[in-house]
Structure 1
Amino acid sequence: MKRPGMPNPDPAAFIKANLPISSVPSIPEIRLHTAGPASGLWRLAGRGEADPPPYWAYPWAGGAVLARHLLDRPKTVAGRRVLDLGAGSGLVAIAAAKAGAAMVTAIDIDANAIVAIDLNVAINGVDIVAWAADIIEDPPPETNLLVVGDLFYDPSLALRVMAFLRRCQAAGIEVLIGDPERAYLPQGELSRIATHSVADFGGGTGGGAVPAGVFALVGND
């Protein structure tokens, strides 16, 4: 456990020193700083060793399936403004930029995630704007496409996210969701448009491959 009074390490220096760069499973076009067993992420987050690691340190299946989908179908984002909500490591945002998006914004509530995104963006040679915020109670953003990877793991969060996505849809924003069908994904409100087998760090898979889907909101054109 962290000793009282011990300062938190510098996030960028910590990530560079403890999260090695590796290609994302199933997405060799993208490399990320990714946590391993000896990364000691609890020190960066100011948590205890037994606490769960932060989400941004791993490529989760919902983000991975979206990234694979965008890279395989670049017309989905080519020339468009794309916003990655709950961006984590920046995987989906980086894929959108590589696929030819005109502008990509990555948003996450964790300030350390934004540091990781900036480092991962530099590794992959793309241009992304990343900032820390919780925007799901805000008006719809100025974007053409909203991508959402793996935000349906908690019941209250899932409800808030869906309400936001519906407001975005009503404002004319296209929404794409990537998810391995976690417990709180509202499948009755979604239309599956693709399935890919990708690695996942949730649900006890420990990085094993799972089938994950790309979904649109029912009613989206």
Structure 2
Amino acid sequence: MLFWQTGVRKGANVFNRKVDSDLIKAAKEYKIGFIRLAPDKFETTQRDFLLGNADSYQGLIPKDLKVLKDVLDAFHQQKIPVVLTMLSLPGSRWKQNNNDKDDLRLWSDQAFQKQAAKFWQDLAKELKDHPAIVGYNILNEPHPERLYNTADSAIYNVEQSKVQKNLFGFYSSVVNSVRQVDSETPIILDSSSYADSKSMSSNSRMS
């Protein structure tokens, strides 16, 4: 938590297919305070990086995990902290990796929520002591509203109490799973409607 308690932090997203030394050096030269890293585009022999297959999570893919750790090592060597986020989770494959279609199974099937919690638990167990990591960001821009209304113009015309109950129930499960193996790393939770704070209200907070 010390990282987050020492003034305003300004970072940058890295959602690249490959993270090489030139990118990391450029981040250092620009004095970027931290990197928010999503590894979902990284090359893999599986269907989905780290996950193996978002249709049925069976455990972390060792080769993919090594690739991720090597990238984290490289950022640490340049003293650039990293917030790790995911664009895909079990039952929620990233749209760009899913024929441009929303994958909303995570929000309608408890089995996928359990798989996602297990995925993050496995990942936290592997990364909890990595010196580059300053936060886990569970899912980039969640949008469970799509489960109830698919129209872009109507994403806010959804009963938010229903949406937040679904989202926070999921978050509670993931946070509890992570905390079983890692009691210290900060956990960052995006609001719904693609992380739009307007979707939050005074009566829709996690306890």
TM bucket by the smaller chain? under 0.3
Which one has a larger percent strand, Structure 1 or Structure 2? 1
TM-score (norm 1): 0.26
TM-score (norm 2): 0.27
Which one has a larger percent helix, Structure 1 or Structure 2? 2
